[in-house]
Chains A and B, each alone.
Chain A
């Protein structure tokens, strides 16, 4: 029990390890918070499923520095993001934007759910239409067979 509690304690009190090292972050806590917020949404192109904040790759480090430089220079969050997207494309965003080329990505799952739901409705309707046949009363033969089976028990 103590082990379980300890595991739970560890799970709840530890956060993900960020790759940002001391000296990299900005002195201004507001700017640093914005930089972290932007960094979380940017893909490290070397490791591809980590954000630049999570990655130790050299490029991720350079991009973190770049984000902070742009923020200090007075760029808005959107401007910083656009600056990076201009160079690396939408792929660099961990959350893909909603535009014609990604309609299938965003709308596909909902569409599949609708199709599946429609399939279920059609199936259930058909079943309920068929059920009266299944509930037809037993004929004499069947009744006799059923009685004998029950008697055996």
Chain B
């Protein structure tokens, strides 16, 4: 047993690695159960004051972002300028689902802060949100050309998440 001293060392390493991984996980971020599946069927009416609503059939053909937002959601306001920029610069088409909002609030919000959405739908009862597994706004999904959900970002998108995670996935999908 010349190498017995290894045992406590190995135990320590085991505990250290487990803790290093465990303590840096974000248990608040629940992985989506819908990854790799086709977007759920839905057909939503337009947000108040917008010409058209949004249905699942329209989410096919190219890579898109589907963003769940609401005027009562503070983090949504934080990410909103970034969504506006994505649209202005033509980076990727952004589609919106207005989740459990008051129609007039949603309208005022989009009028004031800008409307980055190619199309948006109003999910006032929140049922479409449940079908998408949404549990906290904002949530943003990347949907590929075939209408498959590829990625879900939970919380406000910041520049770092956009550069390091979301844009690379979009670039890869487009190849």
Question: What is the interface of chain A, defined by CB distance below 8 A to chain B?
Answer: 45-46, 48, 58-59, 62-63, 66, 85-91
- CB contact between B133 and one of A48, A58, A89 (< 8 Å): that residue: A89
Contacting residue for A87 out of B27, B31, B100, B130, CB 8 A: B130
Q: Does B25 contact A (CB under 8 A)?
A: no
Query: Per a CB cutoff under 8 Å, which of A48, A89, A90 touches B28?
Result: A48
Complex contact A46–B135 (CB within 8 A): yes
With A46-B136, A59-B126 known as contacts, the answer to whether A91 contacts B34 (CB < 8 A) is no
B131 interface residue (CB < 8 Å to A): yes
In chain B, positions 77-129 with a C-beta closer than 8 Å to chain A are: 100, 125-127
> B129-145 toward A: CB 8 Å interface, digit per residue (1/0)?
01111011000000000
The 11 listed contacts between A and B (C-beta, < 8 Å) are A48-B28, A58-B100, A59-B126, A59-B130, A62-B126, A63-B130, A66-B130, A85-B33, A88-B30, A89-B31, A89-B133
Segment 3-50 of B: residues with Cβ below 8 Å from A:
27-28, 30-34
CB-defined contacts of A90 to chain B, threshold 8 Å: 33
Give Cα distance in the complex from A85 to B33, angstroms.
8
Closest chain B CB from A145 CB (angstroms) = 37
15 additional contacts (CB under 8 A) given A85-B33, A88-B133: A46-B135, A58-B126, A59-B126, A59-B130, A59-B135, A62-B127, A62-B130, A63-B130, A66-B130, A87-B131, A87-B133, A88-B33, A88-B135, A89-B133, A91-B30
Chain B interface residue count, CB cutoff 8 Å, equals: 17
Bound complex: CA of A37 vs CA of B20, how far in Å?
A: 38
Picked from A45, A66, A85, the residue with its CB within 8 Å of the CB of B135 is A45
Residues from chain B with a CB closer than 8 A to the CB of A59 are: 126, 130, 135
Q: Bound state CA distance, A24 and B82, in angstroms?
A: 40
Q: A45-B136, A46-B136 are in contact. Are A89 and B130 (CB under 8 A)?
A: no
From residue A136, how far is it (CB to closest CB) to chain B in Å? 27
Chain B residues positioned under 8 Å from A91 (CB to CB):
30-31
Q: Which residues of chain A are within 8 angstroms of B132 by Cβ–Cβ distance?
A: 87
| B28 contact set on A, CB distance < 8 A | 48
The interface residues of chain A lying within 8 Å CB-to-CB of B131 are 87
- Distance, CA A90 to CA B100, complexed state (A): 25
